[in-house]
């Protein structure tokens, strides 16, 4: 099953379409296997690659700064290999065997540099819980060959002492914010500043990539949409002019009516009985 | 004589009961119309049976802002409404829809779809009334019927016509807001105000009136 998926995405032209029709029926969210959404993020500067998954070429000439996916993958273990474009998988420049993909998750697999500047692959689990109405989620991932950093929004540190390969996140008011990345505890700007437009109901995931030493630090961004919630309510009137409820006095009137009827009826009945 | 008095009392009783029931019936909520249609519109179109044959690859650029086309005027001839529309969001204190303070103005939910949207619900909410300002722009919203026309004017002056397909009343505790604030499903216009019984103590209406309209 896993292999058939990748054959499908790797193949080209008419063959792909045919394989797809066949495999699609089998892989379309089967009830017996949990699936995950998987994106791939390229954060290694100057190094386009082919991406092999379980030995099958999945991405051809995948460029730095690109984001691929999301793919729907069944849970399981996957072998990932990166090669120079066109090079055989045996000459991979980076491999990860048995990368675990859990079921029912949203995952980003980042190819990036570690703190020392060596290429590596790190999987991140994306938080796809709903954000409150009016909010946006900001996630920052340190995937650069650089020391600990602070992330500032409008000049104020919002995430502090973030190190490779970790993330910091928070739900903030949706809208534009000017953000930059500084060396932790300093005002030395490493990346930015950049205008971030955080759209309501989305998660914006920003990867700091590149190398401080090579002076090619930068960012790659990935967006997850559809995390919005409805407002808590729509309060739209406090005058009472349009109230459709029945005022209490009408109940009093109805009650009086019932009493009069019953009382009058009883009187009539007793009078008649008395005459007999 | 006592007999006559008793009959008079009974007559008065009947009159009182009749008056009370007429008021009770007359002030009941107008019946919902088109509720099933409104629910159908919220159903997302079936996703394409086959996904794209290759892995989508995009540049990892920083996100740009959304470019929704805001409505700036709303006109509903059937209930004599012509009102200015403000782009509004969420009240930070309550998490509720930020209906404009002026009861003459209508709020467009700027986080949701704009007039350009091909899917989802464009939400406009306005006051039915205000304690000090009297009748609001949506005072007569509950009188709208299926087939009535709603016209929204965009910032660029373009006018879009909609046709009312449903009018519903929900208790505020039960209203399926997720459906009315959905960003998927058929393109539609959702008009919301307050209605139902008014609690003079809390100065709150119990219900929301929701009118759904589709592009004409």
Q: Could you give the CA distance from residue A184 to residue A205 in angstroms, rounded to a whole number?
A: 20
The predicted model gives A203-226 an average pLDDT of 96
* pLDDT single digits (tens) A3-23: 333 333 333 333 333 333 333
With CA atoms as reference, the chain B residue closest to A251 would be: B20
The predicted complex's ipTM stands at 0.84
Two tokens, residue A42? 């390229």
- Taking only the tens place, the pLDDT of each residue in A44-61 is 999 999 999 999 999 999
A251/B96 touch (CB, cutoff 8 Å), yes or no? no
Q: How far is CA B79 from the centre of its chain?
A: 14
φ and ψ of A237, to 5 deg: 170, 135
* B15 close contact with A: CB closer than 8 A: yes
> What pLDDT score was predicted for residue A2?
37
Closest CA to B123 of B132, B112, B139: B112
A246 part of contact set with chain B, CB < 8 Å: yes
Q: How far is B38 from chain A (nearest CA, A)?
A: 17
Q: Which of A71, A219, A234 sits opposite B125 (nearest CB)?
A: A234
With contact defined as beta carbons under 8 Å apart, do A198 and A177 qualify? yes
User: Which residues from A are below 8 Å from B29, CB to CB?
Assistant: 244
Q: What DSSP string describes B4-17?
A: HHHHHHHHHHHHHH
The SS3 assignment for B190 reads: strand
Residue with tokens 């980003």: A108
Residue B29 has pLDDT above 80, yes or no: no
Q: Mind listing the pLDDT tens digit for each residue in B150-202?
A: 999 998 889 999 999 999 999 999 999 999 999 999 999 999 999 999 999 99
Q: Please report, for residues A53, B179, B190, B207, the alpha-carbon distance to residue A1 in angstroms, rounded to integers and kept in the order given.
A: 13, 36, 44, 52
Question: Would you give the distance in Å from CA B51 to the centre of its chain?
Answer: 36
Closest alpha carbon to A224 in A101, A64, A71, A106: A106
Rounded CA-CA distance A231/A25 in Å is 38
CB B185 within 8 A of CB B120: yes
What's residue A91's pLDDT?
A: 92
pLDDT at A19: 31
A25-41: average pLDDT:
69
Higher pLDDT, A16 or A140: A140
CA–CA dist B120, A182 (Å, integer) = 40
pLDDT at A267: 74
Taken in order B71, B75, B79, B83, the sign of the CA dihedral is: positive
Question: Angle, to 10 degrees, between the axis of helix A248-275 and the axis of helix B2-26?
Answer: 150
Q: Tell if the CB–CB gap between B203 and A174 is shorter than 8 Å.
A: no
Torsion of CA B179, B185, B191, B197, to 10 degrees: -30
Q: Cβ distance B113 to B1 under 8 Å?
A: no
A62 chain-B contacts, CB cut-off 8 A: 57
**Cα dihedral value A81, A86, A91, A92, nearest 10:** -20
Q: Do B92 and A134 touch (CB under 8 A)?
A: yes
Return residues 100-129 of A near B (CB < 8 Å): none
CA gap A93, A86 in Å, rounded = 12
The torsion angle over the Cα atoms of residues B105, B109, B115 and B117, rounded to 10 degrees, is -170
Mean pLDDT across the stretch B121-127?
98
- Chain B residue numbers touching A195 (CB-CB < 8 A): 62
Q: What percent of chain B has pLDDT over 70?
A: 87
Calculate the CA dihedral of residues A265, A267, A271, A274 and round it to 10 degrees. 110
Name the closest residue on chain A to residue B202, using Cα atoms.
A238
Which pLDDT belongs to residue A16? 30
Whole-model pTM: value is 0.81
**What is the rounded CA–CA span in Å between residue A66 and residue A183?**
25
At residue B187, the pLDDT reads 97
Q: What is the DSSP string of B46-59?
A: PPPSS--SS--EEE
A231 with B95: Cβ contact below 8 A: yes
Mean pLDDT, residues B23-28:
54
Q: What pLDDT sits at residue B2?
A: 57
């Amino acid at each position: 099953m896993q292999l058939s998926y990748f054959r499908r995405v790797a193949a080209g032209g008419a063959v792909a379409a045919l394989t797809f029709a066949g495999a699609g029926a089998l892989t379309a969210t089967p009830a017996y296997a949990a699936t995950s959404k998987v994106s791939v993020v390229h954060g290694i500067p100057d190094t386009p690659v082919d991406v092999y998954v379980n030995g099958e070429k999945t991405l051809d000439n995948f460029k730095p700064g690109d984001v691929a996916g999301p793919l729907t993958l069944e849970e399981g273990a996957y072998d990932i290999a990166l090669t120079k474009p066109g090079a055989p998988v045996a000459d991979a420049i980076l491999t990860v065997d048995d990368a675990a993909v859990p079921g029912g998750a949203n995952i980003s697999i980042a190819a990036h540099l570690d703190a020392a500047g060596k290429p590596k692959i790190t999987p991140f689990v994306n938080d796809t819980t709903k954000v409150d109405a009016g909010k946006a989620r900001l996630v920052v991932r340190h995937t650069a060959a650089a020391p600990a950093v602070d992330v500032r929004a409008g000049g104020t540190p919002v995430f502090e002492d973030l190190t490779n390969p970790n993330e910091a996140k928070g739900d903030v008011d949706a809208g534009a914010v000017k953000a930059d990345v500084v060396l932790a505890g300093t005002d030395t700007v490493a990346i930015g500043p950049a205008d971030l437009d955080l759209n309501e109901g989305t998660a914006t995931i920003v990867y700091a990539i590149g190398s401080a030493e090579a002076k090619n630090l930068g960012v790659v961004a990935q967006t997850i949409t559809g995390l919005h919630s409805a407002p808590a309510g729509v309060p739209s009137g406090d005058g009472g002019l349009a109230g459709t409820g029945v005022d209490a006095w009408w109940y009093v009137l109805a009650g009086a009516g019932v009493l009069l009827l019953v009382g009058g009826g009883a009187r009539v009945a007793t009078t008649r009985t008395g005459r007999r | 004589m006592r007999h006559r008095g008793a009959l008079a009392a009974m007559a008065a009783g009947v009159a009182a009961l009749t008056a009370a029931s007429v008021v009770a019936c007359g002030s009941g909520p107008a019946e919902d119309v088109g509720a099933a249609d409104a629910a159908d519109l919220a159903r997302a179109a079936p996703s394409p049976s086959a996904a794209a044959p290759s892995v989508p690859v995009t540049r990892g650029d920083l996100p740009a802002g959304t470019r929704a086309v805001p409505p700036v005027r709303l006109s509903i001839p059937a209930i004599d409404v012509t009102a200015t529309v403000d782009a509004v969001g969420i009240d930070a204190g309550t998490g509720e829809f930020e209906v404009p303070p002026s009861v003459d103005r209508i709020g467009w939910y700027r986080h949701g779809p704009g007039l350009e949207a091909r899917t989802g619900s464009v939400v406009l909410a306005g006051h039915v009334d205000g304690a000090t300002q009297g009748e609001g722009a949506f005072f007569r919203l509950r009188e709208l019927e299926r087939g009535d026309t709603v016209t929204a004017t965009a910032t660029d002056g373009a006018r879009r016509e909609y046709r009312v397909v449903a009018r519903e009343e929900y208790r505020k505790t039960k209203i399926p807001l997720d459906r009315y604030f959905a960003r998927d499903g058929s393109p539609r216009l959702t008009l919301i105000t307050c209605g139902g019984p008014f609690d003079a103590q809390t100065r709150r209406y119990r219900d929301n009136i929701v009118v759904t309209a589709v592009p004409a």
